[in-house]
Amino acid sequence: MASSYVPVYLGDEILTQETRDLLSSLPSEKGWLVSQMYQYEGSWHTKAMLQGIVNCQKHFEANDSDIILATIPKSGTTWLKALLFALIHRNKFPVCGNHPLLATNPHPLVPYLEGDYCVSPDVNFFKLPSPRLMQTHLSHHSLPVSIKSSSCKIVYCCRNPKDVFVSLWHFGKKLAPEETTDYPIEKAVEAFCNGKFIGGPFWDHVLEYWYASLENPNKVFFVTYEGLKKHTGDMVKRMAEFLGCGFTEEEEVSKIVKLCSFES
């Protein structure tokens, strides 16, 4: 199943001794969709994700030209991956019949920072076409230092939490049926509202990026899934301007919107 949610289920064998020691010091709870989750820097994660986060915080070095897509799971990650990939590489990959997005799911085209770091600290992002586009579900305060200190740009997408919950609920039932059987929807809503789900709490995640975008609008672009749905072309143009690759022709925008639509 293509999703940025998949690495959360990797097994204990990937854990270093350092991460095992860290885990033993963290608050932990039985989670919704996962058997056990751990609270690290205020957010809830599985053991595997924690390994990825620790590696990523230690080893990832951002370039000034990097673009980071940040979301809470189920907020439009896949769609934004496609739109941003098509947008920033439109000179290299003009929209036509052999565009990479017509043959490949957006997830492998845009690496998942802490997800890729789950299995090894030696992730090689240098093979990516420039500018490098990467995705994260990390909270703003948990981002690797170089993302905040460099001139790289962050695009954050927020979605109505009711829809995030419903999306996660249906997805979870398919991905982890054995973890959800003893979890009635009422209990899951309660866990979600209390911030106790992988990547949560919801509002802390959204508000940190919202305030960062107000503080530094040249660094963080804040978009909503609903705004993107309603005014896709306009929002794509605004993202292009923010990323320093503004459009000259109307035609190109609608081609990209169509390429990244469900229909395509």
Ligand X SMILES: Nc1ncnc2c1ncn2[C@@H]1O[C@H](COP(=O)(O)OS(=O)(=O)O)[C@@H](OP(=O)(O)O)[C@H]1O
Name the site residues for ligand X (rule: CB under 6 A): 3-5, 71, 73-79, 163, 167, 260-262
Q: CB-wise, 55 or 75, nearer to ligand X? A: 75
Task: Find the shortest distance in angstroms from Cβ 2 to ligand X.
Answer: 8
Which of 83, 111, 84 has its CA nearest to residue 7? 111
CB 140 to ligand X: min, Å: 17
End-to-end CA distance of the chain: 19
* CA gap 160, 63 in Å, rounded: 32
Instruction: Give 31's contacts (C-beta < 8 A, 6+ positions apart).
Output: 37, 44, 46, 191, 196, 197, 198
Buried b (16+ CB within 10 A) or exposed e, 121-132: eebebeeeeebb
Q: Is the peptide bond before 27 cis (omega within 30 degrees of 0)?
A: no
| Least gap, CB of 78 to ligand X (angstroms) | 3
Looking at beta carbons only, is 39 or 167 nearer to ligand X?
167
Separation of alpha carbons 59 and 95, rounded Å: 35
Residue 111: CB minimum distance to ligand X, A: 13
CB of 3 to ligand X, least distance (A): 3
As given in the structure block, the two tokens for residue 228 are: 């993107």
Q: Give me the least distance between CB of 156 and ligand X, in Å please.
A: 12
Minimum CB distance to ligand X smaller for 220 or for 260: 260
Residue 115 or 144 with smaller CB distance to ligand X: 115
What is the set of active-site residues? Answer: 137
Closest CA to 146 of 128, 127, 125: 125
Under 8 Å between Cβ of 14 and 51: yes
By beta-carbon proximity to ligand X, the closer residue of 6 and 245 is 6
* Closer to ligand X by Cβ: residue 2 or 145: 2
